[in-house]
Amino acid sequence: MKENIKMLSCLLLISIGTFAQKDKIKEAQSLFDKGNSQEALAILTKTEYLILNAPDEDKSDYYFLKGNVLKDLAVKNIDAANNFTLASQSYQDVFLYENESGKFKWTVKANMALKDMKASLVNGAMADFKAGNFKESAEKSYKVYLFDKKDTLNLCNAAASSINAKDFNAAVTYYEILKKINYSGKGVRYYATNKKTKEEDTFISPKARESAIQQGLYEKPRTESIPSKKIEINSNLAYAYLENKDYPKAESTYNYVLELNPNYIDAYINLAYLKLQMKKDLADEISSLGTTPAEMKQYDKLNAKKDDIARSAIPYLKKVLTLEPKNQDATKTLLGVYRSLDMNAEYNALKAGM
């Protein structure tokens, strides 16, 4: 009899918890309908523990509402990138519980919300980039990539935005992923002009574009070939390495760029800059030395190494001037190197040719 009483107590607690959760969902839904998403989220967050023992159908209601609330906050640009991610997770929970229950109440709407979120993130990333908010643009582009990893263009945009934001750690992470998946960006884009808006739209395939044209919605089809971005990707990755003072990886990556294009002037200039930056770091180390015998010995060693590094920049700068004789940046830098190494004959010859 006591066991029955205990079982009955447990069932009553579960029942009370379920009713309490339903009431909280209704309260949160009411606040959400009135536009008070932050208050609705606070209620849902505080009562999430109650959903653990609820039926799958109630869980589906809860996570669909939570996804909608988080999505609304993100669309309002309130911690957009993070809230979009959390909203996506909530919608994924909807798919999970409705698949388990076999009752697909919110699946279609949750799927549509995910697609809408992706479009909002893409548009938000573009708007942030145009406004100069590069870090925010990078975060949103990366979130889009996480939504749909087949759409690698968003990862490329995240990497480029990170370079503009001078967030070189993030840039290295994103560009290394692009290299790992062998992304080149090469492809074809299919355009047609919307008769109503008079603006060009892109299509995923020639068939999709042709269908829109046949329906009378579009005209003036245009196809554009997109060249490979491998040089740009590796050059930017090398630059990010360089800014992080990871000189071996930067040098290796710039050399790979030159394998792709032996006449790529920026790679030669940046390799020269890399050597001169290494020289500067050594000079800073030398200036910090004292006057003990051990430190004086270290001074001579580092000073000789410093000159060798500066000398190693010369071939890169001369190559630039071979490819582009009037390149002022390369000329000025090379003159500075000659002067620092007391290479007076070379300095005077280059100066006379200016």
* CA nearest to 85, candidates 67, 107, 111, 97: 67
Question: Residue holding tokens 């003159």?
Answer: 335
* CA nearest to 316, candidates 259, 255, 260, 233: 255
Question: Residue holding tokens 């990886």?
Answer: 249
Asked if pLDDT for residue 7 goes beyond 50, the answer is no
Of 71-75, 215-219, 301-305, 314-318, which gets the smallest average pLDDT? 301-305
Spatial strand order in the sheet of 200-203: 200-203, 187-194, 218-226
Ordered alpha helix ranges (H), the chain:
2-33, 37-46, 56-75, 80-101, 107-130, 134-147, 153-164, 168-180, 206-214, 230-243, 247-260, 265-287, 293-312, 314-323, 328-340, 344-352
Reported as a pLDDT band with limits 50, 70 and 90, residue 11 is very low
Type and span of the H or E element at 222: strand 218-226
Reported as a pLDDT band with limits 50, 70 and 90, residue 212 is confident
Task: Give the residues across from 192 on adjacent strands.
Answer: 201
Question: Residue holding tokens 């029942």?
Answer: 15
CB 50 within 8 A of CB 92: no
d(Cα 338, Cα 310) in Å, to the nearest integer? 9
Reported as a pLDDT band with limits 50, 70 and 90, residue 20 is low
List, for residues 88-107, the tens digit of each pLDDT value.
889 988 888 888 888 888 88
List, for residues 123-166, the tens digit of each pLDDT value.
889 999 999 999 999 999 998 888 778 889 899 999 999 999 99
d(Cα 308, Cα 304) in Å, to the nearest integer? 6
Tell me what the mean pLDDT of segment 291-313 comes to: 84
Type and span of the H or E element at 220: strand 218-226
